Amino acid sequence: MLRRILLASLGVFAAVTFARADEAADKAAITQRLRDWTDAFNAKDQRVVCELFAPDLIATIPDVADDSLNALCARIKAAQAKPGLELHYDYPDIREILVSGDLAAVRLFWTLTTRKDGVADTTVEPGIDIFRRESDGKWRIARYLSFTNRPNKNLP
């Protein structure tokens, strides 16, 4: 009987230990995905930029309640193609990552600096990203909510 209790206790301990190790690896993978996205955005690499998002993405941003992957990617591409407009994101300020199995909630703040006609404007965009581990093992944003306290002066 004591042996069964000890074995069961060791099994629980091992499960908790592995779960924590996986959680740390998941948080690191999500953080890296966000940093890779930032680098790709700043380099205007549309393939990598759009690959962060799940095919069934639903995004809520100012003036758009239910944005899709295709609409979001088209909007980013159009903004990056505007003559005379420069866009630059800093790496996100990640405040919290909560992981539960194949889902994760990330609370973060993005800092966007735009330049147009010699005028720079910097705005902060708080948000919540819901990541899902996809069948290929990559974490992708399936849902997100982003807002800003004021519109960036160089963006329509």
Q: Which helix (H) or strand (E) holds 30?
A: helix 2-42
First to last CA, the chain: 71
Res 16: pLDDT: 47
Domain 2-146 has CATH 3.10.450.50: yes
Res 6: pLDDT: 47
DSSP state of 82: S
List the pLDDT tens digit at each of the 156 positions of the chain. 545 554 555 455 445 444 455 999 999 999 999 999 999 999 999 999 999 999 999 999 888 888 999 999 999 999 999 999 999 999 999 999 999 999 999 999 999 999 999 999 999 999 999 999 999 999 999 999 999 989 999 997
* Global pTM value: 0.84
